[in-house]
Amino acid sequence: MSIKTNFDFERDVIPLLPRVAKPARYTGGEYNSVVKTESRLDFVLCYPDVYEIGMSNLGLRILYQALNEVEGIAAERAYVPWPDLATLLREKGIPLWTLERHRPLAEADLVGITLQYEMTFTNILLLLELSRIPLLAADRRDGDPIIVGGGPCAFNPAPLAPWFDIFVLGDGDLSVVEVAETVRAGKEAGQSRAEIVAALCRLPYVWAPELKREARRSIVGDLADAPFPVRQLVPNVRAIQDRGLIEVSRGCTNGCRFCHAGMTYRPVRERTPDDLVALA
């Protein structure tokens, strides 16, 4: 499923870093990052904004640990570069890379993009453009990664439907592993990209534009059963939310109709005080 390129991080990127702001955004090597030398499935988790904002997101940290705990699956990360580097990448024809193994995103099996708020939607197109991945799902072929959308804005997927292969609705703590395992099984069975996408579309919490049915949210009933990163990534550059994170609860009892998170993260689930102390 991978497309090979002649990209070389040391040769192509390192000489550019003195010319951009905060070059440590792009090098990887963070404390507690996971670098797997071998894998049978490569899953890139992308936050469609700059490094400092993406590294503040707890959801992607949870997915990062959940995937990397599975043998044979490598979860890596990518963020949208600042305009100074984005301009250089266009000029030099250099594809966007992962922070862990410095590999082009176009070589991955899956690229997961979190949809946290609508203002990042244009950044999604920038991310795909810089990665040399066809923008439209209809233009992707065998060898192109499967583009997956998730997060709060996935509950209104239609505006983004032309650019994504599938959307995963609800809690990703456990469903992201099932998605990855489905792709790995199809890959090992020699299935085509279209066949693998069709298999993903049979999962109840997956929605795709061609489906004639509704999708149901994936819900983690008890947070104690879900993975949580106790070896959290430490950013190279000071993050917007510069602190350790513990998820005390998920959901809200108020149910305000204007609150996106209050509606999409329900029902309310809380960790016990003992669990919180243990995590801390």
- Whether 161 contacts 209, CB under 8 Å: yes
Question: Parallel, antiparallel, or unpaired: how do β-strands 166-168 and 110-114 relate?
Answer: unpaired
- Residues 3-22 as b/e (b if ≥16 CB within 10 A, e otherwise) read beeebebeebbeebeeebeb
Residue 257 CB neighbour total at 10 angstroms: 6
Query: Which pLDDT band, with edges at 50, 70 and 90, does 5 fall under?
Result: low
pLDDT 10s digits, 210-258: 887 889 999 999 999 888 998 889 999 999 988 888 999 999 888 788 8
Measuring CA to CA, which residue among 179, 172, 149 is closest to residue 48? 149
Read off the pLDDT band of 1 (50, 70, 90).
very low
Q: What tokens were used for 183? A: 């792709």
- What are the tens digits of pLDDT across the range 81-99? 999 999 999 999 999 999 9
Extract the tokens encoding 13: 């990127």
CA distance 28 to 8: 15
Q: What is the pLDDT of residues 15-74, one digit of tens each?
A: 999 999 999 999 999 999 999 999 999 999 999 999 999 999 999 999 999 999 999 999
Torsion angle, CA of 149/153/154/160, rounded to 10 degrees? Answer: -70
> Among 140, 138, 172, 139, which Cα is nearest to 155's?
172
Contact residues for 53 (Cβ-Cβ < 8 A; gap 6+): 47, 79, 239, 240
pTM: 0.94
